[in-house]
Structure 1
Amino acid sequence: MPGSTSIYGFRYLEPEDPPDIAGGLQNLGQDVEDELALRAPSVNTAALSSLYTLTDTVSNLPGCVINVTTPRAGAVALITWTADCVLTTAGSASLTAVTNVSIDNVDQPYPQPVWGPGNQAVQANTRGTVSAAMLATLGAGAHAFRLRGAASSSTGQIKLNALLTQLSVLILP
């Protein structure tokens, strides 16, 4: 009966096994390939699907969702996002836009990059970009990452530009 390694469970022939070298090597090769497949990183990017007007309610941004499945617990996700903001209606200097990420429908409390036109709030078409990154350790199974955003309730209007507002997730199993 074949033995197996203690950490990865790779099968190998024991001295008392019948001499099936070809079969033993095939099993070992398949075990190594299966383990390497579990360790292969995956990169996913999703972009805002169209120009989006922020409201004072935190909302999922259309098109900015990434679904992944991790084969086992302990995978690490490197999550990065960028929000390309434009002031479309002049307003108060206290007007701000904020973005954050939810993982499996749970808002992550930090980081939450904030953009505000400040003293330029009186000029429509003022533009700025913010970005952030975070790490998360995941359990085994399906996971959903969503980019979310909102604007403060001050006067004025901020929109997010499509394509340049993005969410990226790198999974390191």
Structure 2
Amino acid sequence: MSGPTASQSGAEPNPAGHATIDQPSQQDRQRLDNQLCFAVYAAAHAFGRAYRTLLGRHELTYPQYLVLLVLWEQDGLSVKEIGNRLFLDSGTLTPLLKRLEASGRVRRARDRVDERQVSIFLTPAGESLRDVLACIPDEAGGLTGLDMQGRKNLLHDLVTLRLGLQTGLIPE
């Protein structure tokens, strides 16, 4: 017994007689809902709204939370090192760090050898948030509708996507 023919499966034979998968029309390829980049963009906005709710009760923004996550892994990093981890430039990061400092969660210290370098250190208040905010990853993950394995798979796929885009970028 043989399987469906190319025309029954929706595939069209190519000039060599082999079945090919239907290619979406140009119009379908240009539909907003068919854009991978838009799906990621919209998901990022949805995450932003969720984190605004989860972190708002602690008077933190999502970027501030990311800085804390980095510092909980390794305290005393330079602004440049934090920026590299978060893919943020110093122009974006500096005001955010100043707000964290004003709230008493971090302190900034200039390097004694090179005063252009600024290192960021957690204060006791910033360190104490580690335990308080330990539930955030599970709460946010639970909002996705994905089980733990689904979230791990998605994380892997998104890291793969980011790395592919970073290595595939055409220099300007």
TM-score (norm 2): 0.19
Q: Which has the higher helix share?
A: 2
TM-score (norm 1): 0.19
Q: Which has the higher strand share?
A: 1
Which has the higher relative contact order, 1 or 2, with Cα contacts under 8 A spaced 6 or more apart?
Answer: 1
